[in-house]
A and B are shown apart, each in its own frame.
Chain A
Amino acid sequence: MSFEMAEAILLTIATAATPLLIAALGELVVERSGVLNLGVEGMMVMGAVTGFAAAQLSGSPWIGVLAAIVAGAVFSMLFAFLTLSLATNQVATGLSLTILGLGLSGMIGESFIGTPGLKLQSWVIPGLSEIPLVGKFLFAQDPIFYISILLTICVWWFIFRTRAGLTLRAVGDSHGSAHALGIRVIRIRYLAVLFGGACAGLAGGQLSLVYTPQWVENMTAGRGWIALALVVFASWLPWRVVAGAYLFGAVTIAQFHAQAQGIAIPSQFLSALPYLATIVVLVLISSNRRMTMRNTPASLGKPFVPER
């Protein structure tokens, strides 16, 4: 493999990994607060279509990015209202968020099918991006890549180094005790879900403004679900989410290169790789009960209704 090619592959792996990383980080914060939002796929696809539409209508991809974030956040509030204010089943409500998101995005995006999209321009940092091999990977990326790295640091710092992060974890581990201490469980969970929605929206915007600048129906193609699996894979630790996201980015890209090289495996089998890899990884992680139990938020998925 030539040097240039290795450089290019690294770059594309990052582009494939970034939406997974961002969506999974958002969901990690949500789950740390004790809420399981299975609507990531729906919020992501809403972010993708809104971001694309806003960029088209305004002519600016940055407006698109903002719109994607807002769309994901607004959409997540639907989930928050039902699960937190009305104490509905989180699994079923998350599923309905995904079903609604896929339907609504299909309707909104119908008139944009086939329209060439606007691409968010990369930020090339002069000098540093000339470093061999890793220069382009680290310093000639699209802005959302930089945001994803910054976000990882911020989420880690927030969860483990701030008082608010401690409160978030307390709420996720024992909402009853947190409530007894005077912590406003429902409010904190609303904020966490809002953050998760914004992240999922941004991840979707990355897909339709950077990764493949166009609108295709169901263009998230299960990435929201893979992001959910990554949170389990990472056992709720931000740094492991990075590792997981890049692992999956690599699998995705490997599959494209295998297809381009004309390897004699049907393309459908290669396309199935990321999904199969997800299952394998989940099995490996979850069969190790000690490792998963240590960081699993104890109240995950349980509805909380304050007693009067």
Chain B
Amino acid sequence: MRIELVRRPNPSALYSALSPLLALAITAALGAVMFALLGKAPHLALYSYFIEPLTEVWSIHELLIKAAPLILIAVGLSVCFLSNNWNIGAEGQFIMGAIAGSALPILAPDFQGPLVLPAMLIMGMLGGMAYAAIPAVLKARFNTNEILSSLMLVYVAQLFLDWLVRGPWRNPEGFNFPESRNFHADAILPEIMSSSGRAHYGFVFAIIAALVVWFTLNRTLKGFEIRVLGQSPRAGRFAGFSYTTTVITTFLIAGALAGLAGISEVSGAIGQLRPVISPGYGFTAIIVAFLGRLNPLGIVAAGLVLALSYLGGEAAQITLGVSNKVSNVFQGILLFSVLACDTLIHYRIRIAGPARAE
């Protein structure tokens, strides 16, 4: 028995819409098996993972807090991936954005007023862009593999943040804890509806970013260039589109959004710099981008799903006593399922018998 792929004449519209849902179903099924193996009742586990966090208002706020960075980063990554630029260093760009934006309230705590927050957000975006520019320029100028260079820079960013909060940026009144001083009130990203929960404006930024990028990709010439160069660099060059410009532009967009995510997280959810400010958002966002089929609007939905997997992990740890590492496993299985289901869009799958005359 073996699997044969038969190419469809046209990509299947049905499966384009269905494949993310199919992938979620497969993930839930595999998750049930995994919980059964861990000796937990699968239906209870899945309930506390995927339903329980949605039953209370405060917990929906938490969902939006976690979805904001995922959506922001993934929207940027979708631009990169569509143009065939494999930026997998968003985690580093997130951290550098957070550091650049935090410089203001940490180094100049006496500078206060309504200008602080906008300045921080802009500095955060610039920080992310500057860091994303490194692999972009290396790729455009020296043909350096951007996958490896962007990933290596993640480790460097993590170490740099670690050094800052343990060294020069450590809180002078912090009893030697490795954390920066707390941001003053003007440097905190406000909450959307502080009466019901902690969700901050980061989620609003995410929605705006998704809409703007969707419009750019689908309704402007620049978006068309990005798509063409991603699908066929040769065709793009014949059309006179610049490869170098596109490499750099797409990386800068991704860096700006990851940087914005970083500073929003630090100023909205944490309120200071710590040695670790992200539970791997930059990597989970890769899954979000694919689950959203690289479409910014799909990414909003996908970001909410993956945010749920983080929350569910915390809930399941408390109610069932399973490790919160289960979330990472879920996320890995989900990406595998998405990729496998996407095959159905371009191919029909035929199971062939063992013996066949050639």
- Which residues of A are in contact with B by a Cβ distance under 8 Å? 38, 78, 82, 85-89, 91-93, 95-96, 99-104, 106-107, 110, 221-222, 225, 228-229, 232, 266, 268-269, 271-272, 275-276, 278-279, 282-283, 286-287, 289, 292, 305, 308
Contact = CB atoms under 8 A, between A and B. Distances in A.
B332 A272 contact: no
B328 A272 contact: no
A31 to B, nearest CB: 12
Contacts of B6: 308
Contact of B287 (A96, A225, A271): A96
18 contacts: A85-B3, A86-B347, A95-B286, A95-B335, A96-B339, A99-B283, A100-B336, A103-B329, A110-B325, A222-B155, A228-B148, A232-B145, A272-B155, A272-B160, A275-B155, A282-B138, A282-B144, A286-B143
B142 A283 contact: yes
Given A86-B347, A275-B156, A279-B149, 19 more contacts: A86-B5, A86-B340, A86-B343, A95-B335, A96-B287, A96-B339, A99-B286, A100-B332, A100-B333, A222-B151, A229-B148, A232-B148, A266-B167, A268-B159, A268-B162, A269-B159, A275-B152, A283-B149, A305-B347
A269 B147 contact: no
B98 interface: no
B71 interface: no
Contacts of A283: 138, 142, 144, 149
Nearest to A285: B144
Nearest to A277: B152
Interface in B289-312: 290
B315 interface: no
A103 B328 CA distance: 5
Contacts of B145: 229, 232, 282, 286
A182 B145 CA distance: 33
A305 B8 CA distance: 12
A225 B155 CA distance: 11
B314 interface: no
Nearest to B134: A279
A287 to B, nearest CB: 4
Contacts of B336: 78, 82, 93, 96, 100
B60 to A, nearest CB: 25
Contacts of A228: 148
Nearest to B149: A279
Contact of A289 (B143, B149, B343): B143
Contacts of B328: 99, 102-104, 106-107
A283 B148 CA distance: 11
Interface in B143-195: 143-145, 147-149, 151-153, 155-156, 159-160, 162-163, 167
B278 interface: no
Nearest to B143: A286
Contact of A268 (B3, B152, B163): B163
Interface of B: 3-7, 86, 88, 138, 141-145, 147-149, 151-153, 155-156, 159-160, 162-163, 167, 283, 286-287, 290, 323, 325-333, 335-336, 339-340, 342-343, 346-347, 349
Given A91-B86, A232-B145, A269 B163 contact: yes
Contacts of B148: 225, 228-229, 232, 278-279, 282
Given A86-B343, A92-B339, A99 B332 contact: yes
Contact of B329 (A89, A104, A266): A104
A104 B141 CA distance: 38
A106 B347 contact: no
Contacts of B3: 85-86
Contacts of B346: 87
Given A96-B287, A96-B339, A99-B328, A287 B143 contact: yes
B144 A103 contact: no
A95 B88 contact: yes
Contacts of B287: 96, 99
A258 B149 CA distance: 25
Nearest to A287: B142
B142 A286 contact: yes
A292 to B, nearest CB: 8
Contacts of B329: 100, 103-104, 107
A102 B151 CA distance: 15
B32 to A, nearest CB: 16
Contacts of A279: 138, 144, 148-149, 152-153
Contacts of B327: 103
Nearest to B157: A272
Contacts of B343: 86-88
Contacts of B151: 222, 225
A308 B7 CA distance: 10
A92 B142 CA distance: 24
Nearest to B159: A268
Contacts of A269: 159, 163
B332 A103 contact: yes
A266 B170 CA distance: 14
Contacts of B160: 268, 272
A275 B323 CA distance: 31
B321 to A, nearest CB: 12
9 A-B pairs with least C-beta separation:
A100-B332, A103-B328, A96-B335, A268-B163, A287-B142, A107-B325, A268-B159, A106-B325, A275-B152
A14 B347 CA distance: 47
A188 B342 CA distance: 24
